[in-house]
Amino acid sequence: MSYAWSSHYHDPRALKTEAFCMAEAFTEVLLEEIPDSEIVGIYCKGSVLKEWDSPLDYVPELSDVDIHILFSDDSSIEKHLGLVDQAVHIQSRVEERYFSKLPEPLHVPMPQLTLLNDLLHNEDYVHPPRKVVYVLYGKDAPDPDYSNPDRIRRTDCMRLLDGEEFLKKRLPRQAVDRPARYIWQTLRLMSWRASPTGPRVLHILGLPTEEAWSVNRTVAVSLLEEMGEENLAQDYADYYLNAWEYYLSGYTDGNAGRASIVAGAKVLNRGGEIGLAWLAGHPEIEGETA
């Protein structure tokens, strides 16, 4: 398969500028609202930092701008982000700051603020490769540990099985009453499950950990094809291409939105099958954690 940016889509350079502008706006507001002595670091992570070789690599208002904040003490989380009033105040200021930087943007990037303190308490969490982490403020992010890739693969499998469970037990009931512009809500719920299916499957099929989590989706699709997962590659691409059409229509093309949901469902289903097969073939790793 071959995909390329064209005049049908927004200029990727403008989109990336806007995505980084959102990350900068969030960082500035956080540092104004929270004493810098209580913040170890603020980081931008993920697809925003990768090359965008095709429209697969970024879908406006669906792809996340991942911002991670690490507090010096866990108590600072409740202190500064524990109340609704605090949250909406920061949200309001981020919105104002973003539009002060870009009064007429092509889109409003979807920020996702993650508390790195919470992730560090999860023994299954694995830090992303350095090349897909940008320090917005403070110290360098913690170093990733990829010394036991099969233990990480087991965690990947469990995440894929979680996605399959969501597909079977929650997605139908969630999607059935979300027509027209409400389809976006379903795509949003799917996005953080469908997106990592690509690198997780690549890792399970033998790609080194750092490489699997560093490639963009355009490259991931090509690698999936090379590894014999042509149908998964096509469904993975269709999920994003149809989401683009839904976005470009102003969320009025329900057929494009539904096509994206169906493709994403196939991605989750195949990911679960691959995860289950890997676990069955590696019983000696059963019960370990990453």
- Model confidence pLDDT, tens digit, residues 221-275: 999 999 999 999 999 999 999 999 999 999 999 999 999 999 999 999 999 999 9
Integer angstrom CA distances of residue 9 from 106, 247, 249, 260: 11, 10, 11, 17
What per-residue confidence (pLDDT) applies to 50?
95
Rg of the chain (C-alpha set): 19
The answer to whether 69 touches 30, Cβ cutoff 8 Å, is yes
**pTM score:** 0.94
Q: What is the pLDDT of residues 162-211, one digit of tens each?
A: 999 999 999 999 999 999 999 999 999 999 999 999 999 999 999 999 99
Q: What contacts 24+ positions apart, CB below 8 Å, involve 119-124?
A: 119/68, 120/70, 123/289, 123/290, 124/155, 124/158, 124/289, 124/290
pLDDT of 35 higher than 50:
yes
Q: Left if phi > 0, otherwise alpha if psi is -120 to 50, otherwise beta: which for 42?
A: beta
Mean per-residue pLDDT over the chain, rounded: 95
What per-residue confidence (pLDDT) applies to 287?
53
The CA distance from 149 to 136, in Å, is 29
The answer to whether 163 touches 268, Cβ cutoff 8 Å, is yes
CATH topology of domain 12-138: Beta Polymerase; domain 2 (3.30.460)
**Domain ranges in the chain?**
12-138, 149-285
Helix (H, G, I), strand (E, B) or coil at 42: strand
Listing from the earlier edge strand, what are the strands of the sheet with 110-115?
A: 110-115, 64-71, 39-45, 133-138
What per-residue confidence (pLDDT) applies to 290?
37
